[in-house]
DNA sequence: AATGAATGAGTCTTCATTCAT
DNA sequence: TATGAATGAAGACTCATTCAT
């Protein structure tokens, strides 16, 4: 009986259809893992929150690792569908970049617990985890990579753009930027951050040196 | 008043000066923590690697948390000294940025275990940890922030540069970029990555506005 | 995320209904605690005596302190029931005093281990302990206090009787008296001791003031 | 490094005469044991408070048990001297009883930590402890026993007085009475308690039934 | 399908005591 | 005589996982 925070447990129900019980446990696991983190969360916590008995969880998930993996892959699946749907409707590369940056920021803002879980646990190298979550992360970041590659093709981006590095700067930058927010400190202004990051991605921070093509708005000229 | 009787005790191992033993345990802990991560590592592992009995570790470090904290803060201290020494000798902002980017990449390349430890455990919010490591991370990232701010002052960078966001993109980008390497997959080409990242920081990925086609797409011309 | 893998687990022992196992552990704990005392007893001792694995004890009792507390409160509950039942059937105050004195002596004679445990551990001020055992001791001693108070009301006892002090002398006296027996030295003659103590309580040890030699010095004659 | 309360340590001094060091450690031990109790106190606590290094304590006391035993026997020796000195000057048995009762109450009031230590640890049956403290407790209680026996001889007390039982009631009663005070709750009024207890010892609480020799002052005649 | 009792291998941490220096 | 580093044997408590019912 750890001094853990236990939330109002759902009353146990009997004989649910398999799929429904599965979803219930998954949802409970998401809450518990997000709130406590992987290590601190216990299977007992999950079972209780799901209104199920401990051993029963193992009928649906063969181990704790698989359970987190499913929670995370679930999130990725949902996110992937959403991105798929939205991104195809955005014509310009620039707008697509803007959308993807903002989308990731929104994810961090709206599901900080889950994102912290992903960021922390994704880098584990656990085989069980990799097997399940594996490609999903790649497919997720692929949206940005593809957008950048298209930008190169269309000429909106320099031909020598180091696409993967730029992608890393975007995702890594967003996650770093949100670190304080994830830690419960401060807020996260999605739109401002997205605008600034997009600008940095496109023009960098260096002063444009040419005479003929003066830089930004604040040019005294 | 335990009824158990203590056993007669075996021959004592070699007796080291306090500082030496401290360093020995610290070094052992660094290895163990870097290899297994904080949670998976046990104090028994550390003690064994240090050639010491488990209980003896506690003469030098009052808890496992303090021990990691010391390992990490030790690294930061060394790094901070080094940065301090080097950075002050680099005149131009551009060169300083290049140096800081490369330095962080080198850290990841040369101490992947430690860096993974830091990246993972730094975001824990544990008070023991924060107390000790606390400001070190800030002081570390401050070097880049200061360089960027100076760039703004000297006019090498745009006056409206979002300094903190850019700093996050650099550190986050580097760490993301090194993720595969940290996971034991692939290599890390410090110089190339540093060059590319510096370029992105300064000019971004957007097409250079030529005379005929000045700045961005939304240019009214 | 421990890297250690759990072992395949051995054949499970017999499965008892919850209440039965609870009682079994409680009984084992009583024996162990009484024999060794609280500090010297270990949860492993208790588990072994109960024929259960150590960790399983914690399914029923959340801590060692709670376990002793339950053992002790269990005894009090039983004793309280018994006293309740018996005392109400005894009409005269004198008989009631005699009964309560003898009953406490019998408790010491018949459950010396448990009584030693109570006497030693009751005075600990541990919150877990107090929470559970708390009022039970007071309710136990209240029987004597109430009998004395009634004696005062009925005139069988002097109106200025210091009830609490007298109660302390009875309980403290009995416990002191039984100390040698509790230590395993000598025997305990309940009836004789009860008779003598009752006499002391009622008349004290002072010479009875006869007609010719009236009581104490402060006798006005 | 336990979260224990450590008091201002005396600075280590070198090369004290043996006897002086011995006393210093003993004094430190008394403080520590009284404050924390035997089990919770550590040899490290004692050493620190004595301004001595841990291992050095063992040059003067061969074990923790012996150390407490010495602390306790020290107290008894002092007390015994004091009683010896005082008691011989008190002529009447009655006064002597009054003095001994009050003296024990004062001990409890003035050295609650030590008394708690004695009361708790004296009943352990530890051979090391018994060997050292052994007879002291008996010699201490003997003062009261002798006074009672003399009372019997002189006729001030009934010839059939159960001396040992009465002695137990006095000491046990006092200790029970002081229990709340020892637990840090409430105060201890030595004089009142002594008066009341003396009266109980001499006359008991029973209403004197005779016509010819009416009882106390509050008798309506 | 569901239950939940039972397992067992850890985890961290504490401390009396010894002994090389 | 003094030091304090080192020992080692517990000890309380946790938790993923299994399996009889």
Domain CATH for A32: 1.10.10.60
> Is C206 in Cβ contact with D203 (below 8 Å)?
yes
Tokens of D170: 């006095």
> Is B39 in Cβ contact with C1 (below 8 Å)?
yes
Of B39, B61, B83, the last residue of a domain is B61
Q: Tell which phi-psi region holds residue B218, choosing left (phi > 0), alpha (psi between -120 and 50) or beta.
A: alpha
Q: Enumerate long-range contacts of C67-70, CB under 8 Å, 24 or more apart.
A: C67/C25, C67/C26, C67/C29, C67/C33, C67/C43, C68/C29, C68/C33, C68/C38, C68/C117, C68/C121, C68/C129, C69/C128, C69/C129, C69/C131, C69/C132, C69/C133, C70/C26, C70/C29, C70/C132
| Residues on chain B touching C2 (C-beta within 8 angstroms) | 39-40
Tell me what the mean pLDDT of segment A141-165 comes to.
95
d(CA B137, CA B80): 9
- Please report, for the domain that includes residue A184, its CATH number: 1.10.357.10
| Residues on chain B touching D121 (C-beta within 8 angstroms) | 1
- Residue from the list C1, C36, C40 with its beta carbon closest to the beta carbon of B40: C1
Which has the closest alpha carbon to C93: C158, C188, C172? C158
| Residues on chain C touching D94 (C-beta within 8 angstroms) | 216-217
Judged by DSSP in three states, D206 sits in strand
Q: Is residue A200 part of a domain?
A: yes
Instruction: Measure B178 CA to F2 C1' (Å).
Output: 55
Same structural domain, D24 and D83: no
Same structural domain, A51 and A87: no
Q: Could you read off the pLDDT of D32-65 as tens digits, one per residue?
A: 999 998 888 999 999 999 999 999 999 999 999 9
Same structural domain, A91 and A166: yes
Same structural domain, C82 and C55: no
pLDDT confidence of residue B209: 60
Q: Is residue A11 part of a domain?
A: no
pLDDT confidence of residue B13: 58
Q: Of D90 and B15, which is predicted with more confidence?
A: D90
Whether CB of B17 is under 7 Å from strand E: the answer is no
CA-CA-CA-CA dihedral for A100, A106, A108, A114, to nearest 10: -100
Q: Which nucleotides of F are covered by protein (CB under 7 A)?
A: 1-21
Same structural domain, A86 and A141: yes
d(CA C29, CA C75): 13
DSSP labels for chain A? --S-----PPPP-----HHHHHHHHHHHHHHHHHHH-TTT--HHHHHHHHTS-HHHHHHH-SSHHHHHHHHHHHHHHHHHHHHHHHHTT--SHHHHHHHHHHHHHHHHHH-HHHHHHHHHHHTT--HHHHHHHHHHHHHHHHHHHHHHHHHHHHTSB-TT--HHHHHHHHHHHHHHHTHHHHTT-S---HHHHHHHHHHHHHH-SBPP--SSS--STT---
Same structural domain, C94 and C199: yes
Distances (CA, A) of A171 to A68, A137, B7, D139, D176: 22, 12, 58, 82, 71
> Is B1 in Cβ contact with D38 (below 8 Å)?
yes
Closest residue to E3 measured CA to C1′: A53
Rg (C-alpha) for chain C, rounded Å, is 23
Measured in angstroms, the CA of C214 and the nearest CA of chain D are apart by 7
Minimum mean pLDDT range among A73-82, A112-121, B73-82, D145-154: A112-121
| Residues on chain A touching C62 (C-beta within 8 angstroms) | 1
Same structural domain, D37 and D76: no
Same structural domain, A88 and A35: no
Measured in angstroms, the CA of B63 and the nearest CA of chain D are apart by 9
Same structural domain, A96 and A197: yes
Mark the ranges of chain B whose per-residue pLDDT is less than 50. 1-12, 212-221
Q: Could you read off the pLDDT of B66-102 as tens digits, one per residue?
A: 999 999 999 999 999 999 999 999 999 999 999 999 9
Whether CB of D159 is under 7 Å from strand E: the answer is no
pLDDT confidence of residue D121: 77
Minimum mean pLDDT range among A41-50, A189-198, B58-67, D16-25: D16-25
Minimum mean pLDDT range among A86-90, A215-219, B15-19, C48-52: A215-219
> Is B157 in Cβ contact with A176 (below 8 Å)?
no
What does pTM read for this prediction? 0.83
Q: Which domain holds residue A192?
A: 72-205
pLDDT confidence of residue B210: 53
Instruction: Measure A5 CA to F12 C1' (Å).
Output: 21
Mark the ranges of chain C whose per-residue pLDDT is less than 50. 1-12, 212-221
Same structural domain, A54 and A91: no
Judged by DSSP in three states, C206 sits in strand
Tokens 């005075």 — which residue? C123
> Is C1 in Cβ contact with B36 (below 8 Å)?
no
- For chain A, what is the domain count? 2
Nucleic strand E contacts from chain A, 40-79, CB < 7 Å: 52-56, 58-59
Instruction: Measure D43 CA to F8 C1' (Å).
Output: 17
Same structural domain, B168 and B129: yes
What's the angle, vertex CA A71, arms to CA A70 and CA A72, rounded to 5?
90
pLDDT confidence of residue D15: 62
| Residues on chain C touching A39 (C-beta within 8 angstroms) | 1
- Residue from the list B165, B210, B215 with its beta carbon closest to the beta carbon of A177: B165
pLDDT confidence of residue B184: 84
d(CA C164, CA C172): 12
pLDDT confidence of residue B12: 43
Same structural domain, D103 and D130: yes
Q: Is residue C91 part of a domain?
A: yes
Q: Of D166 and A119, which is predicted with more confidence?
A: D166
């Amino acid at each position: 009986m750890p001094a853990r925070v236990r939330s109002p447990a759902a009353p146990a129900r009997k004989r649910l259809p398999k799929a429904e019980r599965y979803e219930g446990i998954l949802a409970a696991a998401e809450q518990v893992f997000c709130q406590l983190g992987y290590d601190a969360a216990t299977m007992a916590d999950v079972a209780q929150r799901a209104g199920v008995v401990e051993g029963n969880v193992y009928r649906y998930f063969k181990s704790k690792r698989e359970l987190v993996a499913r929670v995370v892959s679930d999130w990725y699946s949902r996110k992937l569908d959403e991105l798929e749907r939205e991104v195809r409707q955005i014509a310009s590369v620039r707008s697509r970049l803007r959308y993807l940056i903002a989308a990731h920021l929104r994810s961090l803002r709206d599901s900080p617990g889950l994102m912290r879980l992903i960021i922390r646990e994704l880098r584990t190298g656990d085989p069980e985890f990799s097997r399940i979550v594996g490609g999903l992360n790649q497919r997720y970041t692929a949206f940005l990579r593809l957008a950048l590659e298209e930008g190169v093709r269309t000429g909106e981006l320099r031909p020598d753009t180091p696409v993967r590095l730029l992608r890393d700067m975007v995702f890594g930058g967003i996650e770093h930027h949100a670190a304080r927010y994830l830690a419960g400190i401060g807020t996260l202004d999605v739109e401002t951050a997205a605008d600034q990051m997009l600008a940095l991605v496109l023009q960098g921070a260096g002063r444009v040196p040419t005479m003929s093509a003066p830089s930004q708005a604040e040019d005294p000229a």
